[in-house]
Amino acid sequence: MNGKGCLLCLAVLWAITAGCRSEGVVGGTTGRLRSEGKPIEGVRLSIDRIDGGHRERVGFGVSQLDGSFRLYQEGAAGPLWLTPGEYSVTLESEGTTVREWPGEFSDPVKTPLKINWSGTEKSLELEIPPARIRYQ
């Protein structure tokens, strides 16, 4: 087989195997974002692990129409499965509904959304006080 034939075979093989790859990354720990029991959609949640005085951004999720979300490692490198420990959650509008959060919700140190995750929970349930959300 000449050089062009080898390249053609490699191109065909690549095209066939490219179609076999799975699309996207499947998320890890699941949760729900609500206010007064009602789902909040279109919000990016950033998760920081708190270890003593040190904080490290470990992942994110985006709430869906029913308020549910799955957590992913930073850069969507893979699913994020929370390990036991303390975490803080910050919020940012991600969808078509623009929400204005008080400043502390975007600061991983000041956010009132703190989690003590034991690892035995089925999912992460976050409730936002309604007076804290302003829509634009």
pLDDT above 90: percentage of residues in the chain: 47
pLDDT above 90 (res 26): no
Across the range 87-105, mean pLDDT stands at 81
pLDDT above 70 (res 65): yes
Across the range 62-78, mean pLDDT stands at 93
The pTM for the full model equals 0.74
Give the mean pLDDT of the chain: 80
The answer to whether 115 and 21 have CB atoms below 8 angstroms apart is: no
CATH superfamily of 26-135: Carboxypeptidase-like, regulatory domain (2.60.40.1120)
